[in-house]
Amino acid sequence: MRAIILLTLASLGLGGCSSVFDKHVEYTYVEPNNYPTLKAVGYAPISLQQGANKSQKQLMAIKASKLEAYRELTEQVYGQKITAGTSVAGAIAQDDYMESKVQGIIKGAQIIKTYSVDDVYVTELELNMKRVHDLYIGEIKPREVKKVTYY
C-alpha cells in the first residue's frame, strides 16, 4: 500500500516538472480555400421621400436605398431574429404579430451601381469575403500552433 502511495506521489511530482520549462510557440495563419461574394440590392421610391423638391427627394431615396442594401447584406451575414405570436381568447385568435430584427456590422462592402428606374432608386452592393478576411486578419490575427519548442 505504501509503495502505491509513493509511486503516485512520484508520478505527480515528475508530471509537475513539465510546467517548469519555458516554451516558444510559433503560429501559422489559417486561410480558407475560397471566398464567396455576397450581393445585395436596395430599393427606395423617390416620390414618397420627404423633401421640398425633386432633387431633395432623390437624395433621400439614394440614402434610403443604400441603407436597404446594407440591411440585406446584414441579413445574409448574420441572419434575422424573428419574433412572432398569437393571442387567443375564447378559442378565437385575437391578435397576431410578427417582428423582424437585423443587427450586425458590415465592413468592406462596395457600392457596385446606383441608378434610378422610373420612380425607384436602386443601390447594388457587393461584399467580397476575401476583403473581409483581409480586414479580419489585419485586426484579429487568428492563428493556430505551428511549432512548440521547449527549453
Largest CA distance in the chain: 96
Asked if the model's pLDDT at residue 73 lies above 90, the reply is yes
Instruction: Return the number of other C-beta atoms located less than 10 Å from residue 14's C-beta.
Output: 9
Judged against a pLDDT cut of 90, whether residue 27 lies above it is answered with no
Confidence label for 79 from pLDDT (cuts 50, 70 and 90)? very high
Asked whether the predicted pLDDT for residue 65 surpasses 80, the reply is: yes
pTM: 0.66
Percent of the chain's residues with pLDDT above 70 = 83
Amino acid making up residue 103: Q
Residue 71, pLDDT > 70, answer yes
- The model's pLDDT over 115-138, given as tens digits with 9 standing for 90+, comes to 999 999 999 999 999 888 888 777
**Domain assignments of the chain as residue spans, ordered by start:** 22-150
| pLDDT value for 24 | 79
Give Cβ neighbours of residue 2 (< 8 Å, ≥ 6 apart). none
pLDDT category at 149 given cuts 50, 70, 90 is confident
pLDDT tens-place string over residues 31-51: 778 999 999 999 999 999 999
16 pLDDT above the threshold of 80? no
Q: What is the rounded distance in angstroms from the CA atom of residue 11 to the CA atom of residue 120?
A: 77
